[in-house]
Amino acid sequence: MWHILGAGSLGMLWAARLARIGLPVQLMLRNEERLAAYRQVGGVTLVENGQTSRYPLPAQTLDNPAPIQRLLLACKAYDAEAAVAQIAPRLMAGAELILLQNGLGSQAAVAAQVPGVRCILASSTEGAYRDGDWRVVFAGHGHTWLGDPLALEPPPWLGELSRSGITHDWSLDIVGRLWRKLALNCAINPLTVLYDCRNGGLDEHPAEVATLCLELRELLHTCGQAAAAEGLHDEVLRVIHATAANYSSMHQDVAHGRRTEVAYLLGYACAAAQRHRCTLPHLEALHRRLLDHLHARGLPSQ
């Protein structure tokens, strides 16, 4: 059974793909109100390549007493710790948690709450968004890396992902991958918010991007992530050009007045730098500017 906590973009995307090859899936919703709203609609809808399919998946609230062996945690990083605290008593001995959260920080906070549970970390380049309640649009095919920093052995169910069309690899350095993605995010997303531009708009700020990449490289080296630092600036430029027409996820969050995951991205990077007494003036100034910007729009900085 795949228990999936959070029927948001990624949660529904995973649920629909697992269910359509006949795997048992159980959605886990926030509360009775959300469950009642879901039951009125009766299923999740996946829009892929212009085609719409509906999946009448079972759902329950977090406080349902049934035990859980495998849980995909598909909420935002800032919701992860509280969500896991709520379902922790339901996790069986030897249970597995798959953590889809972007950035760093939430995974360690979750793992500390559930000793004895195997936490598998994921980093995904897939793109999905909700165009209505219980509807997800699969906007960008991508790849998902999964890994366990504490055990190299892959779990036995990776074949289920292959059969579901969830393209993935087992990574022996998932923390390095998460750091690399975090660094790319720090070099691009905050600037797109501050300049209110698409990713391609950063072409007009090459010196700022280059300076941030230098500091991010220094941070990665300081944090023992030398491999994640390699060729960072080149990849940042490649991403900026390949996604020139897109608005970054952080830009979209701010534009829609939604809370961002800044605390697990640039916030995490700056906290790590401070912990290591590594002075990164441009990264810290960027963080301050971003927090001021969020504050001015009434958005949380955490």
Residue 100 or 280: the one with the smaller Cβ distance to ligand NAP is 100
Closest-by-Cβ residue to ligand NAP is: 8
Question: 144 vs 217, which CB is nearer to ligand NAP?
Answer: 144
Question: Quick one: 34 or 289, whose CB is closer to ligand NAP?
Answer: 34
25: three-class secondary structure by DSSP:
strand
Query: What does residue 170 show for φ and ψ, rounded to 5 degrees?
Result: -85, 125
Which residues are catalytically annotated?
181
Contact 198, 172 (CB under 8 A): no
Please provide the size of the chain in residues: 302
CB of 45 to ligand NAP, least distance (A): 14
CB of 86 to ligand NAP, least distance (A): 6
Number of Cβ atoms within 10 Å of the Cβ of 93: 8
Cβ 218 to ligand NAP shortest distance, Å: 25
**Residue written as token pair 């559930």:** 114
Nearer to ligand NAP, 164 or 280 (CB): 164
In the bound state with ligand NAP, the residue whose beta carbon lies nearer, of 30 and 198, is: 30
CB of 121 to ligand NAP, least distance (A): 12
Comparing CA positions, the residue from 153, 160, 2, 168 lying closest to residue 74 is 2
At 100, list the tokens.
Answer: 């889809």
Q: What is the b/e burial string over 249-273, where b = at least 16 CB atoms within 10 angstroms of the residue's CB?
A: bbbbbbeeeebbbbbbbbbbbbebb
- Is the four-CA dihedral 111, 116, 117, 120 of positive or negative sign? positive
Question: 197 φ, ψ to 5°?
Answer: -135, 165
* Rounded least distance, CB 85 to ligand NAP, Å: 9
- DSSP conformation class of 247: P
Residues that bind ligand NAP (CB under 6 A): 5-11, 28-30, 34, 62, 74-77, 79, 83, 100-102, 124, 126-128, 130, 261
